[in-house]
Each structure stands twice: as structure tokens, then as C-alpha cells.
A and B are shown apart, each in its own frame.
Chain A
Amino acid sequence: MSVLIYLIPVALFLGGVSLIGFLWALRSGQYDDLDGAGERILLDDHDE
């Protein structure tokens, strides 16, 4: 069972990374316009 010593932290670390990723995306405004994000993929080019 000693493998648990590694596996539990690894599982928590991976979960934590995705949680932090989500919180970062939330903070940087990526969830502000969900409808727009779906439509913008259809635009050909961006002038910026």
C-alpha cells in the first residue's frame, strides 16, 4: 500500500492544477461571453 504515498499527492496535484486553470480562466474573463466564443471560431481572420 506504500504506493499510496505517491498516488494520493499526484492525484490531488493534478486535480489542483485543473482547478487553478479554471480559476485563472474565470478571472481573465474567458467566461464572460460564452455565446460569442462559440461564434468567433467562424471568423476568418483577426486584424490584431
Chain B
Amino acid sequence: MSCCAPGSEDAAGLGVALPSDEEVTFAARDLGDGVRQVELSVPGVHCAACIQSIESTLRKLDAVETARVNLSTRRVSVRWRGASLPPVVSTLARLGYPPNLFDDPEVGKDGTLSELLRAVAVSGFAAGNIMLLSVSVWSGAEGATRDLFHWVSALIALPALAVAGRIYYRSAWSALRHGRMNMDVPIAIGVTMAYALSLYDTINSGAHAYFDGVVTLLFFLLIGRTLDHVMRDRARAAVAGLARLAPRGALVVAPDGSRDYLPVNEIEPGMNLLVAAGERIPVDSRVIDGTSDLDRSLVNGESTPNPVSPGAEIQAGTLNITGPITLEATAPASSSFLAEMMRLMEAAEGGRARYRRIADRVSQLYSPVVHLTALLAFLGWMAIDGDWHKAITIAIAVLIITCPCALGLAVPIVQVMAARRLFENGVMVRDGAAMERLAEVDIAVFDKTGTLTLGQARLTDAGSIEPTTLALAATLASHSRHPLSQAIATHRGVMPTVSFDTVAEIPGSGIEATRKGDVWRLGRADWAASGASETGTVLTQNGAVVASFTFEDRIRAGARETVAVLASTLGPVEMLSGDTPEACARIASALHLATYQAGLMPADKVARIRELAAQGRKVLMVGDGLNDAPALGAAHVSMAPATAADIGRNAADFVFLRESLTAVPLTLDVSRKAGRLIRQNIAIAIVYNMFAVPIALLGYVTPLIAAVAMSASSIVVIGNALRLGVAREAKKDERPTALQPSPEPAE
């Protein structure tokens, strides 16, 4: 069990704050009798030892009644007695599994999955038993025996049609009601007609009944549908389990001094809020007390933190880094920056809503052709020999043989294989249509901060600073959570640690320390140095500058290759950023990006994407910030890293959990391969129909031939889809990001 050294204990220090106890209590459900239950996402669990250490440690806490880990969804559900929350969050963090709350209205069971599994079970049972009887009929059972077998089959098929068929009837009906056509319409019609005809023949002691075909068809199709659902569900759960970045509420100070934790939507303008270091700002507000530094990278793409002091206006979603501040809310949550971004995003909803899936487009053409052929077959045979029973039988045989078993599986089975391959590489796919859209893309647009770069500062001139000075600065810097301090602190190296007499962090300015009578300051030049002629970050001794530091944003691993690969295989690559022109120019030249725009507002990004779309281009947008969310919504298809803001993550079609940006070309490659296989599969299904339909039209289709033909075409289509898995190469060189261990496949 040595696999359990998560090494992610420092996740809390990297800007992802643990949920506060108030927040967790607020999210809990009251089960009555003073018992409450809360579900926490623990992305770090991955083996039996993790389960045991979490469950046994939590159960030892006072008041905790039960603690149960769900490894599939990576969640722990804790039930406790009493009003106040036991120290669950801190215990989990101490064990090395920092938990977070997730946004999921359906905390309980997944109703759709249970329904699908139930339908698969019932149709599988029916298919097996009916096949058993059908084989006897095919091998020559006659007369009363055959009729008995048909009657028993009809009886077994009825519940299968009710339970399993309902899924198709519902979907077909909702498509027809909206005047659309989907693959489920011909399936529903074919299945119903075949059952009705077989029942009629059974009553009249006919020789052929298609009960086996009806039920086997439903069974096969349901397997494809269930796999599709499981895959998407897994991706959804993985995305939902990522740390929430938007706060649920804030500590409100009432005029009489009492403190109360209120959910975000109950905070009103004029209320006073306390925001600790490491927490995010819940609503747009003004600072009334305290100084601190704010990380606005998620809000507007600025890579350097800003100092704030009383009077400063700040936007919701900003991260408070260094000191506690008291705020006065200036806008309710419904008109805060975050809500404004949501509205922009809804307004921007572009190419996606209009996109029609390949399967729907095919069925749009396919269904009228099939239904018309069946009708013509009926009319033709009526004209030839006037036997209406024979004419109907042949018309229905046409419907059954063309009933798109292969076509119904052609698309989902490829997308399941593709989604699985992406999942193994740490890319979550929201739905199959996203892959179809990605395969069409011909221009890529990237955000800078947090996407092409990591949004983490890196010291660039470490080599030119004297090692002992650097070690001293690093020791000082390790006392602060400020991103620039942390960048310096990584250079502590092998030098002996210097000890200071006193160390104090001055939020918004820097760190001040005394050592043997000297005053050392590390921070903003206009504060640390007495001369104030310098700018940037400096280390001073009694006001004299000893060293100055310059930083750059760390470029995300694989960014350079990604830009190069996309430029050669996809088309132009652009960068749209809210950051300063200088910062953008530096990154653009490092990545060999020719086109970029700096200093953009969220609406400008959307405008640029609209402009590209108006030129007939299909845009891939990759971004992470709140300010990117409208652009993510406007693009033809979008991707976001796991560290993105919540609404950005929810707007994106793909979310990649690992640090390397090579997830983007990989996803593109898999999506294109999937698109090719889907087209091949559809072609196979059409070729199959070209052979099958004439046979059916001539009246040679017996239930045996129908069963063989359907199974054979399904196997060919599934076999073709599996080629996507065979081409899998092991990509083990990519490390999971420190923030979120990537989910390994369970198999």
C-alpha cells in the first residue's frame, strides 16, 4: 500500500483554499434527529489504504456517526450528530486529502443510470430467453409447439418493450414534438411495428415472429447507450469534484458586532464582510479596513497581484492573498462581476446551440428514405398480388432489417472509445457532440494567464544574485503566501538557513524582519527602499537596496510544442489576453505566436471570436478565467484547464486535468480520428442497407436472416470503433498537476 503518499498536502498553499467549516455546515443536509450529512469531494483517494485511513480516522472523531468513501466518484459522505461540524475538513487535510465542496444538485443517486441498467437487465433477460425459444423454432419446431413458443416469446417481450422501449419512445416523442428527427424515431417505429406484426402472426399461427429481433435490437442499443452515459457521467463527476473557486458565502459582521455566515445570494449592499487571507471575494465590494494583495488573474488575466488599501473597489472572484480585510458590499450577488459574466456568456452562446449532431443529420435523411421505401414496398406488393398480409409483412421486414442497429451504434460506440482514451489522458469530455465540433475547428484562440502560462511567478535573475543574499531573501519570503514571495522562497536551496529575530508581513507592501539590529525589508521598492527611485521588488538592509528581483509568469509545460503542432495541423493560433502589452509580448515571442491582442475586456474577447466566426471560421477557445467564460461560450468548441474558474469550467466542452498543454493537440487528434471512424461506420451501415433492403423487398427476409444480418452489421461497426483503442500509445511522461491528482482508470 505504499501507493498512498499523495504528496498533495501543499494544495491548500497553492491558492486553493479549503472550504471553511461554515461553508461545509451550510452545504450539509439535515436528516432529522439532529443528524446531518455532508458530501465532500476528495480527489486524492485512489486505493484501499486511502479508504481505510479516511474512514477510520473520521469515525474516531467525536460526534461523527458514519464516514463512507465512494472511490468511483472520489467522494466521502460524513454523517454527524449535533449542530456544530466536527473538524472533518482539517482532519482530511492533515491526512493528505484536502477536500472540497462541489456543485451538484443531485447529491444522491444517479436516476438515469439506474434506469438504463434496469432496462439493460430486463432486455438482456428477455433477449436470452426468447433466443432460446427462437433457436428451437428455427431448427424445425412446428404446429402447436411453435405457436406455444411464439406465445411465450410474446409474453416475455412485453415487459422488455415496456421497460427498455420506454427510453426510446420518450426520446422519439420529444424529438417529434419539437418537429425534429433523431435516431430514436425509426428505432421506436420499427420496434413497435415488428412487435405488432409478430403478435398478429402468433394469433393466426403464422410461421414467422420477430420477437427475438425486437428484443435483441433493444438490448444491443441499450448497451451502447449505457456505456455512453457511464462515460459522460464519469467525466461530469470528475469535473464536479474539482475545487470550487467561487465562495458560497461570507462572514457578515452585523452592526452590533455579531458575526454570521450568510450564503452569497443573501448578501446585500452595505453589509460588512470579513475576508481572511486565502479566501475569495464573494461580491463586488469596497475595502473599508485592512490592507492586502489581491490576485486578479482569474478575473481579468493580470498576472501580477495588486496591493489594495481602504477605499479600493474590488470585483467578486478575486483571491485575497496576504492579509485579512473588511469589506463593504457594493452590489448584490445578482449584479456582481460573476453574474455579469454569466449573462455575457448566455448572450454569447453561439455556434454550439445551432450545431446539429452527425447522427441527427444522418437520421434526418435516413428516416424518410426508409419509411418511404417501406410504404412503396407495401403498395408495390399490393399491386402485384393484392395479398395485404404479405404486403404488410414485407413492408415491416424492410423496417426491421433497416432498423438502424448498426447506425444507432455507429456514433455512440466510437465516441465512448474516444472519450475513454481522453479520460485516460486526463481530459474530460462533456458530450460526444463536442468531439464532432472539435474535428471541424480551423483556428485556435488561447488566453494567456493561467492557460498558456501557469499564472505562477518565476524568478528570472536568480543566477545574478549573490547566493547568500538570495538565501536570506528566500528565508524571509517563506513567511508569506504572496505568489512573488513563494517564487523567491523556492530558491532557499542548500544555503544554511538564516534566522531572524522578528518577522512580520505587512500586507500590500512586503515582509519586514530584524536581525542583529538591522532592519531587512523584502517587497515593493517604494516601501522597502528609502530612496524610492527603484520600482519592482527589492531586498533592502536599513533602507539600502541589496538586491532586486525580476519575475516572469511560468509558461505551461508543453505550450511551445502545442502552439507549433496546432499551427501546422490546425491553422492560425492567436492569443487574447487581459494582461499588459509588455507581458503579452514576452510570452508571444517565447511561444512564437505571431498574432496576439493585449488588454482586452471580456466583451472584447467575445467580439474577436464573433469576428472570426463571421469570416466563416470555426474557433477553438482555450481559457481559464472568469473573463474568458463568455468567450468560451461564444466559441465553436472550448477547452479549460482544471484550475479554471467554476463558470469557465462549466462552459467548456473539454476540461484537462494535467498540467501539460499537449492535452489540446491530443484531444484534437482523438476527435479527428473519432470523426473519421464515425463516417466509416455510417458508410458501413449504408452499404449493409444497400444489400439488405433488396432482399427484404423481394420478401426473402425470415427472422433468422434478420437476426444474422443485424448482429453481423453491429459486430462490424463495433469492431471498427475498437480500432481507436488499439492505436493507444502509453503517454506516461505527463505528470498530474500538483493541484489535482489525475484520476487513473480503474481497470
Q: Which A residues are within 8 Å of any B CB, using their own CB?
A: 1, 4, 8, 11-12, 15-16, 18-19, 22-23, 26-27, 29, 31-36, 38-43, 47
Contact = CB atoms under 8 A, between A and B. Distances in A.
15 contacts: A8-B152, A12-B129, A19-B122, A19-B125, A27-B114, A29-B109, A33-B73, A34-B72, A35-B746, A36-B72, A38-B746, A39-B47, A42-B48, A43-B48, A43-B52
Contacts of B133: 8
Q: Is the interface of A mostly helix, strand, loop or mixed?
A: helix
Contacts, number: 59
A38 B70 CA distance: 11
B357 interface: no
Given A23-B121, A32-B109, 17 more contacts: A4-B145, A11-B129, A12-B152, A15-B128, A16-B125, A18-B125, A31-B117, A33-B72, A33-B73, A35-B72, A36-B51, A36-B71, A36-B72, A39-B71, A40-B51, A43-B48, A43-B51
A32 B70 contact: yes
B72 A32 contact: yes
Interface of B: 47-48, 51-52, 56, 59, 69-73, 109, 114, 117-118, 121-122, 125, 128-129, 132-133, 145, 148, 152, 156, 746
Nearest to A37: B71
A40 B145 CA distance: 50
Nearest to B744: A35
Contacts of B73: 33
A36 B109 contact: no
Given A19-B121, A23-B118, A43-B51, A36 B129 contact: no
A15 B125 contact: yes
Contacts of A16: 125
B70 A36 contact: yes
B456 to A, nearest CB: 32
Contacts of A47: 56, 59
A33 B52 CA distance: 15
Contacts of A23: 118, 121
B428 to A, nearest CB: 17
A8 B136 CA distance: 12
A12 B52 CA distance: 42
Contacts of B69: 36
Nearest to B110: A32
A26 B114 contact: yes
Contact of B71 (A12, A31, A33): A33
A18 B152 CA distance: 19
Nearest to B149: A8
Contact of A39 (B48, B56, B122, B152): B48
Contacts of A1: 145
Contacts of A39: 47-48, 51, 71
A22 B70 contact: no
A17 to B, nearest CB: 10
Given A35-B72, A39-B51, A43-B52, A22 B121 contact: yes
Contacts of A41: 48
A11 B52 CA distance: 43
A4 B141 CA distance: 12
A39 B132 CA distance: 37
B346 to A, nearest CB: 34
A15 B117 contact: no
Contacts of A19: 121-122, 125
Nearest to B230: A34
Contacts of B114: 26-27
A40 B114 CA distance: 23
Pairs A-B, 3 closest by C-beta atoms = A36-B71, A39-B48, A42-B48
Nearest to B50: A39
A39 B74 CA distance: 13
A27 B59 CA distance: 26
A18 B56 CA distance: 35
Contacts of A8: 133, 152
Given A4-B145, A12-B156, A43-B51, A26 B121 contact: yes
A22 B114 CA distance: 11
B3 to A, nearest CB: 11
A35 B70 CA distance: 8
B313 to A, nearest CB: 47
Contacts of B51: 36, 39-40, 43
A39 B48 CA distance: 5
Contacts of B121: 19, 22-23, 26
A10 B69 CA distance: 41
Contacts of A11: 129, 132
Contacts of A35: 71-72, 746
Nearest to A27: B114
A26 B121 CA distance: 10
B118 A26 contact: yes
Nearest to A41: B48
Contacts of B156: 12
Nearest to B120: A22
